[in-house]
């Protein structure tokens, strides 16, 4: 069969495209909840082709109320996991689970305590509130630190069932909140609130950490680096560039999300300095330092959350994949939204 030059070029291009597609490394990445603005940088990297540029075919596997992605990582059914704060990583080390933190996309944990606007003048003043609504996870984690470091009392605790009705009816109540969720829901119900980010009161854990299996780090550190680098670029583009494609991907994965909700969430991430703050300003998004890891371990020990010397920090996190200033030029070049 005889081909003309144009046909040969088209055939070659198709062949190269197919080869490139086949060459992509398949990666499964589990998030900690249903698709939302707090996952925006990852969806950005997926939707705008950044992961593909780094030779990765990434599948994002959402978490949710009936989904626990954490055991999927150690079982080998996920390659990377968006975890919560460092307490879970400490527990993994204590229990001999060979997973390691390779990046921390939130410099501040978005966990917060909120109160009706103007009722309490400060975070410490809320230690005198008659009741604090807390879910069980909070009672066995940051609440112990609030008692130890800020004078809150166990007798204040009342169960929180993730429904704002009780809070809305009683202006003396304070309750746990996630900075990109409950404060926005309360505002929508006509109840302005004061939000006290725990990170601003000394709760120094990183959040939205990325964990992987130690085996993957040992066998293919270059793939780990590519995933971290591409995710960092995704977050810079999401925070400061055109978020349209990421929004579309998030809404496709979670139909309950709207552009208005996503804009509100991103506004909170930016206004509260959740991601691009602290060490990230000089070392790049994803930054971690040994001093910060040690500081939070000491806080956890003082609050009785872990035993002294129970956690080897060298096994908690591997800092080789961050702190390189990756993507900072994107922030500098983009007109910030």
pLDDT in tens, 249-281: 999 999 999 999 999 999 999 999 999 999 999
Confidence of residue 66 (pLDDT cuts 50, 70, 90): confident
Q: Which of 201, 229, 259 is the last residue of a domain?
A: 201
Is 144 in the same domain as 170?
yes
15 vs 333: which has the higher pLDDT: 333
Structurally, how many domains does the chain consist of? 2
Q: Which of 172, 201, 230 is the last residue of a domain?
A: 201
The CATH number of the domain where 245 resides is what?
3.40.190.10
Is 212 in the same domain as 197?
no
DSSP secondary structure code for residue 102 in this structure: E
Is 138 in the same domain as 49?
no
159 membership: H or E segment, kind and range: strand 157-159
Is 40 in the same domain as 82?
yes
Is 243 in the same domain as 96?
yes
Q: Is residue 12 part of a domain?
A: no
Confidence of residue 336 (pLDDT cuts 50, 70, 90): low
Looking at residue 144, its pLDDT comes to 97
Is 99 in the same domain as 178?
no
Is 144 in the same domain as 189?
yes
Edge-to-edge strand order for the sheet containing 207-213? 56-61, 25-30, 80-82, 207-213, 99-106
**What would the mean pLDDT of 10-17 be, rounded to a whole number?**
42
Q: Answer yes or no: is pLDDT of 7 > 70.
A: no
Is 97 in the same domain as 169?
no
Looking at residue 337, its pLDDT comes to 57
pLDDT, one tens digit per residue, over 123-143 is 999 999 999 999 999 999 999
Cα distance between residue 87 and residue 271, in whole Å: 25
Cα distance between residue 43 and residue 143, in whole Å: 32
Angle at 109 between CA 104 and CA 114, to 5 degrees: 165
Is 71 in the same domain as 215?
yes
Q: Is residue 8 part of a domain?
A: no
**Hey, what are 290's tokens?**
């040994």
Q: Is residue 11 part of a domain?
A: no
Spatial contact of 314 and 217, defined as CB atoms under 8 Å apart: no
Is 222 in the same domain as 166?
no
336 φ/ψ sector (left φ>0, alpha ψ -120 to 50, else beta): beta
Which structural domain range is residue 122 located in?
111-201
pLDDT, one tens digit per residue, over 212-247 is 999 999 999 999 999 999 999 999 999 999 999 999
Q: Is residue 2 part of a domain?
A: no
Q: Is residue 16 part of a domain?
A: no
Is 144 in the same domain as 93?
no
Cα distance between residue 228 and residue 223, in whole Å: 9
């Amino acid at each position: 069969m005889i081909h003309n030059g144009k046909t040969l070029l088209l055939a070659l291009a198709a062949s190269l495209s197919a080869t490139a597609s086949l060459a992509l490394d398949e990666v499964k990445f589990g998030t900690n909840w249903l698709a939302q603005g707090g996952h925006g940088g990852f969806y950005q990297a997926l939707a705008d082709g950044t992961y593909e540029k780094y030779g990765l075919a990434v599948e994002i596997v959402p978490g949710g109320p009936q989904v626990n992605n954490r055991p999927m990582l150690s079982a080998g059914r996920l390659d990377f996991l968006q975890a919560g704060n460092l307490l879970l990583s400490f527990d993994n080390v204590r229990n001999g689970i060979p997973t390691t933190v390779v990046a921390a996309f939130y410099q501040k944990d978005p966990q917060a305590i909120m109160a009706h606007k103007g009722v309490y003048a400060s975070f410490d003043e809320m230690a005198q509130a008659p009741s604090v609504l807390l879910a069980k996870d909070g009672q066995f984690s940051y609440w112990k630190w609030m008692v130890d470091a800020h004078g809150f009392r166990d007798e204040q605790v009342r169960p929180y069932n993730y429904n704002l009705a009780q809070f809305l009816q009683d202006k003396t109540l304070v309750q746990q909140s996630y900075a990109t969720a409950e404060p926005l829901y309360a505002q929508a119900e006509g109840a302005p609130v004061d939000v006290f980010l725990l990170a601003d009161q000394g709760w120094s854990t990183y959040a939205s950490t990325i964990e992987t299996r130690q085996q993957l780090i040992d066998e293919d550190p270059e793939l780990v680096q590519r995933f971290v680098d591409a995710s960092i670029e995704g977050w810079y583009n999401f925070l400061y560039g055109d978020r349209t494609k990421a929004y579309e991907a998030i809404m496709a994965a979670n139909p309950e999300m709207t552009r208005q909700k996503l804009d509100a969430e991103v506004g909170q991430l930016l206004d509260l300095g959740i991601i691009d703050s602290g060490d990230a300003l000089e070392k790049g998004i994803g930054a971690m330092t040994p001093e910060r890891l040690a500081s939070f371990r000491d806080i956890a020990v003082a609050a009785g959350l872990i035993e002294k010397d129970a956690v080897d920090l060298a096994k908690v996190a591997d800092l080789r994949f961050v702190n390189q200033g990756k993507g900072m030029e994107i922030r500098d070049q983009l007109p910030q939204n």
